[in-house]
Structure formats: structure tokens, C-alpha cells
Structure 1
Amino acid sequence: MWTFFLLPFSWLYAAVMGFRNWLYEAGWKKSESFAVPLLNVGNLRVGGTGKTPHVMWLVEELLRQGHRPAILSRGYGRLTRGPRVAGPSDSAATVGDEPWQYFQEFAARHVPVAVAEKRQLGVRLLLKQYPETTVVVLDDAFQHRAVRPTLNVLLTEWARPFYQDYVLPAGRLRESRHGARRADVIIVTKCPPGLSVAAQALVLQRVRHYSRPQVAVLFSSYAYGQPVALAANVADAPAALRPVSASGQPALLLTGIAQPSPLRMYLEEQGYAIEHHAAFPDHHAFQPQDLTRLRGHWQPGWPIFTTEKDATRLQAPLVRAAWAGLPLYTIPVRVAFPGAGGAALRSLLPPAPAAAS
């Protein structure tokens, strides 16, 4: 009902974004290119399409191929401003939860992570401080037209595809569906396991209505790992607090992400009975009282699950003290491409300099 009344505002917003895109395409506004390739992972929809695990997949693959990649994000939700390279003294508060997760994952492999509202300033900072960088992976820069990606990867969620959505405020799109024409590859994310060829063909037909004909359309799903105890609990946790058999095991779930339902479904499929789900908005800054309320639902022997992204915000000193002694576990999530999808995406990546002809 409300969608109908909000549509005029959506049309106005879409027109503004369309005019802005036209200014870039006509050359009235400039997009900056750089000496190294820029690989952008973005979406048309606000939040929840799976950018973080896809960025991590790309970085892992680039490392495997011999690249020296760097990661650049806006740093949404951070308390700082301006270009900044993440370091050991930073946190989710200073660089944002996703960049801090990247830093924790890749610092030991010498992958620099930077944040900047103006991505061109962030790229310049990375190349100045890390001149050995051979490729920069941009997290969520599909609408940031001031830089020109070498490869534009557009993500759309299986359960909420962009072609069924509307522009803000009637829907959740940041721009018109026709923005998909800027994509060099489109990935339908969070697909159910065993997705049939017929189901893929139906989605492909709908996507093709908005994309360029030659663009590859791939499908990906989540692959969840074994629970990992948060570091602050490992030393003191008795054996009873380690992950146990999930046969009807009661558990709690704590999330502050846009789309927690796939994780909850996975845990329930594993046999966990989610007795309480403390679901907060995306990028929620956890407070001690959030954990105090969570304790009210917990009983000894029940594991509490959260995401790797949420764990970065649970490490703030006051918040960490609030969950001390609780059996808190993260569930690692990675991306899997059925069939030849992974090979198709690899073929679009730039060659490492040593392998270039």
C-alpha cells in the first residue's frame, strides 16, 4: 500500500540519479583511472547482497594468482573521516566493521586495507604507501562514479533481485534497475543449494532485460564453516562451552547485519534450536546493555552464534566486558560457485604482472 504512495518520490530520486549518471557518461563529470586495475564489488540495492564474502573471494584468488592486492572501502559507520590505512591500533570504530574484518583476515598476508569517502583519494593513498600494489579491490563503489573500475561486479540477492525492487523510498534500490548496464559481470548471490538449471534460466532471462547482452551472469551460494570461539573466550572457556553436537541443541543468535536469515536457516538445518534471535540493524554499534539483555535469554550450555562482521563490533572494550564468560562463536562464511562459475569469474580477472605477456 505504502509503495504506491511513495512511487512519485522514487521516480524523482531515480531521475536525479539518472541525470548524475548521464553527466559521467557524457563526460561532463570525470571518472579517474589509475595505473593499476580497479575491481569493484557493488550492488544496486541498499545492503545485504553479500559484498564482504565476495570481496574476500576475489582477494584470495588474486593472491593465489600472484597479485599484490589492496582493499578500499568507504568505511561505513566509522567515527573517523578522510582517507585512512588500517593498522593494528585501529578497530571497527575507526575504520568500519567490514574493513576491520578484512584487516584481521588479510593483514598477515600483507594485504593493505584503506577507507575513504572519496575513493580516488583512497586509491592514491594506497599507491603512495604501497607502490608494490598490483590491483585494488573496491568494496561498494558501484554508485561512486568518480573512479572508473576495470571490472565492475554487480551483486543481486536471489531472494530479493534488483529487477523486482523499486528505487528508494518505495523500495531499496539506490538507482534505477537500468544501472545494471554498467556491470561487467552480474552475480546472483545467496542461492539455495542445488539450484536447478531451469530456475537459473528464469533469473537469467529477467536479468538480461536490464544488462548488456555479453555480460556474464553467475550464481553463488554461501558455504559456512565450523563455529569458532571468539578469542576473548578461548582461554577461559571450559570444554562444556565448546561447540557441541547440534542435535536439538538450544542456541542463541546475535546479529547486526542486513540479512541474517540465511545464517539462521543454516543453523536450524544443522539441528540448532534458536531459542532467541537478537536481531539488530546493519552496522549496529553494540552497547553493553545489548549483551545484558542477551544474557537474560541465555542458559548455561547454550552456544551463542554471531557473524564475523558482528564480531568486529563486539570487540570494543566495554562491549567485550559485557559478554565475558558467554560462549560466543562466529560462523565463518565463504562464497561457493556451482559448476563453472568460479572459473568464469577467474577468467575476467587481470593477469598478475609476472604472468602478463
Structure 2
Amino acid sequence: MILLRKILFPFAVLYGWIMQCRNFLYDKGFLKSYSFDLPIIAVGNLSVGGTGKTPQIEYLIRLLSDNYKIATLSRGYKRESKGFVLADETSTAAILGDEPYQFYRKFPKIQVTVDADRKNGIEQLLSLPNKPNIILLDDAFQHRKVKAGFYILLTAYDDLFCNDYILPTGNLRESRSGANRANCIIVTKCPKVISELERDEIRKKLGSNNPVFFSSIEYDDCIYSANESKQVSEIKNLNKLLIAGIAKPKSFFDFLKNQNDTSLTFPDHHHFTASDILTIKSKAKGSLIITTEKDYVRLRNSIPNNQLFYLPIKTSFISERTTFDSIISDYLKITI
């Protein structure tokens, strides 16, 4: 695979040039970006997946939803529906996509919407009788047709964008210079303890003039099914089947696994087929099945409730959380 990526280097140069031309046309106004008269916060990355966009969106929802009417707008990756969809009690993961459906299940008081055309999605939201006063754009850093008011760029601690290269040789959707559009950068999935010296070194590598924050993944103390919860400490040493269909599942497995456990890895946003379900049930042999929250919304109707559990995660700032919160608050004060 590494050799193939090196062979494809000329295509990476071509792709990078195309993306630079596209960004130039948007920057100079030859391609139109649309602004809207309400705060829009976009969360995204330069790389393909695995930076923790979903927990960061959820962090913003928790931060803001007590004081504002929040709407999330996602593309709805791999959903079966088309166009603009506003989540309601008839919605499923198939209709919304797994991550938006997760937002809907966890935060029933907010508006959760999907539309591949973010401009149309925003216009549809603003036409609602109970329109939001803040929109959170999920995975929209490269969606230049809409000009958000505030951009949060995520990059994973063990896969910094400054060390990567353009697709298909690397995993970047656009060149590193795209980071200049960000209002702040969050280095995600950091170790729980990271020294100030190392943080300063990473800031220098990223080369941003805007604030750089550091966060880690915080796992819940419990796993949950549709009907009950169990302490992680109680099930850690039990035999179980662990399932992950996310970009980088290692930390999930490491947190739960003991030497007798079985792990199954699927591609990110995987659609579980009838054959997959039979394999999962066969591997589990009646034992607990624990999966990620994102995978749970796709598996929940196929495996018995008393057997299938999920482990929630949150993003946790290592330091300067109040500074980050204040930056968001200051932006909203200016725009609302």
C-alpha cells in the first residue's frame, strides 16, 4: 500500500493543483461563497476521517444549547435519503446517516438536519417557523460554497496535517495551506498527559497564527444498551466481542479489551449486511457485544437489546478549555 501511494504521487500533485485552483477561485470571488445573517460554526479537517469531528460537534452542542436554538447540518454520509431532511420521530440511521442520527438521539431538543448542498440546507433551516439562531456545520471545511463565520480545524495528535501529504499519496483533502482559513485549531486524541513543551513544539510545527488547543478522548465509565447500563469496571474482564466501524479504532479496543476478547473491525460508516450480522452473532457466542456509539445506531435493530451495548465518548480539553469557550462566546456576541 505504501509503495502504491508513492507510485501515485503524480496524481497527488495534480489533485493538489486542482484544489489550489479551486480555493484561489473562491478566495478571489470568481466562485461565489454565500454568507448568512446568523452565526455559523464549521467543524472539519484537512485529512480524511479519524480526527474526532462528532465528539467536537457534541461538545459545542453541550456548550451552547442551554442558551441558543441550535441546528446541526451534516452531509449525511451514506444515507439512503436525498436532499434536505429534518430529523423527526420517523428518522433512522439509514435516513439521516449514522452521525446525524446519533445527534438526534442524544440531543432531542436541537434541530438535526442533513443536506449535501449546505447552502440549500441553511436556506431550508432559515425558512422553518422555529428557525435556529446558530448552525453547526459538520465536516464542512472544504465546502467553500458556504462561508461560515467561524472555522474549527481538527487534526489528530498522531497524524498531524503538517506531517501528511495530498491524496492519494497521503490523506489530505487539500494542501496544508488550507489551515489558514481556520479561526482555531484543535489537536485531538492527545495523551491524557502532554507537557507544555511538547504542545509548544506542535504549535510550531503547525505554523498557525491562530489559537491551537489540545484535547483527548474521554470514555464513559459505563456501557449502555437500549434498556440498561453496566460499569466498564464490571465487564472489563468478561469475555466479549468488540466491534468498530470507525476510522481509527485502536484506542476503543485498547480501552475495553482483555486478552480473551475478540475484535471485529469494519470500514468507517460501514453498512452492516445480513451476512455481517450472522458473523457477529456467531463470533459473540451469546456473550456481550460492545460497539462504538456510531456503530450502535446501525446495529441496534439487528442484535438483541440485552446483548448489544455501546461505549460513549466525549472530547475533553487538556488545558485552556475556558479560553476556547470564551473564543466561541466572543464570536457569538459579535454576530447575534
- What TM-score do the two structures reach when normalised by structure 2? 0.93
Hey, what's the Cα distance between the residues in 1 that align with 2:165 and 2:334? 43
Q: Deviations over 1:153-210 (max 9, x none)?
A: 00001111111111111111111111111111000000011112222122111101xx
In the TM superposition, residue 276 of structure 1 has moved relative to its aligned partner by: 1.5
Q: Which amino acid in the other structure matches residue 293 of structure 1?
A: T
SS across alignment from 2:252: helix
**Aligned positions of 1:240-255 closer than 5 A:** 245-246=234-235, 248-255=237-244
Q: Which secondary structure state, in structure 1, belongs to the residue aligned with residue 170 of structure 2?
A: coil
- 2:107 aligned counterpart, secondary structure: helix
The one of 297, 313, 323 aligned to 2:283: 297
Q: Does residue 158 of the first structure (1) align with residue 144 of the second (2)? A: no
Q: Of 306, 312, 326, which residue of structure 2 is paired with 1:347?
A: 326
Given that residues 152 and 183 in structure 1 are in contact (C-alpha distance below 8 angstroms), is that contact kept between their aligned partners in structure 2? Answer: yes
1:247-288 Cα offsets, whole Å, 9 max, x none, are 5332211111111111112224xxx34621111001101123
- Give distance in 1, aligned partners of 2:333 and 2:326: 17
CA distance in structure 2 between the aligned counterparts of 1:351 and 1:68, rounded to whole angstroms = 17
| Residue number in structure 1 paired with 2:180 | 181
Residue of structure 2 equivalent to 1:221: 216
Q: Give the 3-state SS of the residue equivalent to 1:129 in structure 2.
A: coil
Q: Percent identity?
A: 36
Unmatched 5+ residue regions in structure 2?
A: none
Where structure 1 has 5 or more consecutive residues not aligned to the other structure, the ranges are none
Paired residue secondary structure (1:82): coil
* Superimposed CA distance per residue, residues 310-333 of structure 1 (whole angstroms, 9 cap, x where no aligned partner): 111113xxxx24x22662211110
Distance 1:18 1:249, change over 3 A: same
Instruction: Report if aligned partners of 1:242, 1:327 keep a CA contact under 8 Å in 2.
Output: no
| Residues 12, 167 of structure 2: 8 Å contact kept | yes
Asked if the contact 1:39/1:136 (under 8 Å) is kept, the reply is: yes
Shift of 1:35: 1.0
Which residue of structure 2 lines up, in the alignment, with residue 256 of structure 1? 245
Q: What SS class does the counterpart of residue 349 from structure 1 fall into?
A: helix
Q: Is 1:285 aligned to 2:271, yes or no? A: yes
CA distance in 1, matches of 2:170, 2:57: 25
Distance 1:140 1:279 in 2: 23
- The question of whether the paired residues in 1 share the 8 Å contact of 2:125 and 2:131 is answered with no
Does structure 1 retain, via aligned residues, the 8 Å contact 2:236–2:256?
no
**Secondary structure at the counterpart of residue 104 of structure 1:** helix
The answer (yes or no) to whether the contact 1:163–1:207 under 8 Å persists in 2 is yes
Q: Is the 8 A contact 2:223 2:309 kept in 1?
A: yes
Aligned to 1:324: 304
Task: Measure how far apart 1:75 and its partner are.
Answer: 0.6
C-alpha separation in 1, matches of 2:25 and 2:151:
19
Structure 2 residue aligned with 1:48: 50
Residue 83 of structure 1 deviates from its aligned partner by 1.3
Q: Residue 214 of structure 2 contacts residue 319 of structure 2 at CA under 8 Å; is this kept in 1?
A: no
The amino acid of 1:46's aligned partner reads: V
Map 1:257-272 → 2, pairs under 5 A: 257-268=246-257, 272=258
Residue in 2 that maps onto 1:81: 82
Aligned counterparts of 1:356 and 1:10: Cα–Cα separation in 2: 39
- Worse overlay, 162-171 or 9-18: 162-171
Partner Cα separation in structure 2 for residue 298 and residue 33 of structure 1: 50
Give, in whole Å, the separation in 1 of the partners of 2:236 and 2:285.
Answer: 17
Relative distance call for 1:325 and 1:125 in structure 2 (3 A) is closer
Deviation at 1:44, TM superposition (A): 0.5
Q: Which amino acid aligns with 1:184?
A: N
1:26-37 mapped onto 2 (5 Å cutoff)? 26-37=28-39
CA distance in 2, matches of 1:129, 1:88: 17
Please give the per-residue CA displacement for 1:99-136, whole angstroms capped at 9, x wherever unaligned: 101111111xx210111111011111111115441110
C-alpha change, 1:186 and 1:352, in structure 2 (3 Å) is: closer
SS of the equivalent of 2:82 reads coil
Return the letter of the residue paired with 2:225.
L
Contact 1:67 1:353 in 2 (8 A): no
Any runs of at least 4 consecutive aligned residues in structure 1 with deviations exceeding 4 A, and if so which? 241-244, 350-357
Alignment CA distance shift 1:334-1:249 (3 Å):
same
Aligned length: 334
| Contact map agreement 1:243 1:303 (CA 8 A) in 2 | no
> Hey, what's the Cα distance between the residues in 2 that align with 1:82 and 1:245?
44
> Take 1:199 and 1:153, find their aligned partners in 2: how far apart are those partners?
21
Q: Is the CA contact 1:23–1:29 (under 8 Å) kept in the aligned structure 2?
A: yes
Rounded to whole Å, the distance in 2 between the matches of 1:295 and 1:85 is 34
**Alpha-carbon spacing, 1:308–1:274, altered in 2? closer, same or farther (3 Å):** farther
The answer to whether structure 1 residue 61 and structure 2 residue 63 are counterparts is yes
